[in-house]
Amino acid sequence: MPEDRLTVLTILERSEQYFRGSGLDSPRLDAEVLLAFVLGITRMKLYTGFDRPLVPDEVSAFRQLVRRRADRVPVAYITGKKEFHSLDFAVDERVLIPRPETEHLVDAAVELAGNLDAPSLLDIGTGSGAIAVAFASVRATARFTATDLSPDALAVARCNAEAHGVAERGEFLEGDLYGPVVESARFDLIVSNPPYVAPDEEVDPECRKEPALALFTGEDPVLIYRRLLEGAPAHLAVGGYVLLEIAENREEEIRAAAPPELEVVRVILDFGGHPRVLVAKVTGT
């Protein structure tokens, strides 16, 4: 079929086939999302216009995206956005793409903030700002501090906070874990989804496009948890909680890394039934 006669349906079928051959997990879905993105319509709208012929500019724009996807660039980086906790987050190669399992952490933080008038939250390793921004969007009086070792990530987090109207209640600090946080600062909640993939673990080719700093631990995969847990009591308000997303196979080691001033009160399972969020409460004053 000549290029100028390609329809929505034919181009979807061809790219689905091409994606399948490239080893993608969801070839049809990816093709639909990318075509809808190029056409500036919803995925559902594609279904009512299967016979619509595409103009050459649309075909060539779509083909460029198809090539990137076949090169295992995640769909979210191509479209520049990812939905998290019912909000659209801008994402690009500077940040980890927020994952659905991290929504458990946000939900638990919202629950633990209970009826505090103006809960304060410290998000360590904020990346796209997903956790802090989602929390502050639910709790309209919350204040947050978001830190990251990566200034590039912090720039993305700030944009997302601005886009969702919560930036004026937050601060963004560059540095290692608690390093950039004022020594006397205390928070009702400390949250973190630190890098937790061991360097020798196999990951999808898509993950290789994400920042290594966001994904991979050093030689000791528990070290960052030990540092997060040991540093927490000095920055928790009375009765405060620390919530950490954890690697499913390291629950025991991470529990054991908690200092005596913290009591592990709960481990939340993810959608797959794996231990995913560790919740500890400060016991001292």
Ligand X SMILES: C[S@@+](CC[C@H](N)C(=O)[O-])C[C@H]1O[C@@H](n2cnc3c(N)ncnc32)[C@H](O)[C@@H]1O
Nearer to ligand X, 29 or 155 (CB): 155
Q: Both tokens of residue 26? A: 């969801």
- Rounded least distance, CB 231 to ligand X, Å: 11
Contact flags string 138-167 toward ligand X, x per CB under 6 A:
---------xxxx--x--------------
Select the residue interacting with ligand X from 195, 221, 231, 275 (CB under 6 A).
Answer: 195
Nearer to ligand X, 63 or 226 (CB): 226
Q: Which of residues 112-141 bind ligand X (CB under 6 A)?
A: 124-128, 130-131
201: left (phi over 0), alpha (psi -120 to 50) or beta: beta
User: How distant, in Å, are the alpha carbons of 85, 127, 245 from that of 90?
Assistant: 13, 11, 22
The answer to whether the beta carbons of residues 175 and 153 sit under 8 Å apart is no
Secondary structure (3-state) at 282: strand
Positive or negative: CA dihedral 31, 37, 40, 42: positive
Q: Which are the contacts of 284, defined by CB distance < 8 A and separation ≥ 6?
A: 233, 261
Select the residue interacting with ligand X from 121, 193, 207, 232 (CB under 6 A).
Answer: 193
Nearer to ligand X, 43 or 274 (CB): 274
Which residues face 282 on adjacent strands?
Answer: 262
Nearer to ligand X, 9 or 159 (CB): 159
Size of the site for ligand X (CB under 6 A): 22
Nearer to ligand X, 13 or 253 (CB): 253
- DSSP letter for each residue of 8-64: HHHHHHHHHHHHHHTT-S-HHHHHHHHHHHHHTS-HHHHHTTTTPBPPHHHHHHHHH
- Rounded least distance, CB 242 to ligand X, Å: 14
Contact flags string 206-245 toward ligand X, x per CB under 6 A:
-------xx-------------------------------
Residues that bind ligand X (CB under 6 A): 96, 98, 102, 124-128, 130-131, 147-150, 153, 176-177, 193-195, 213-214
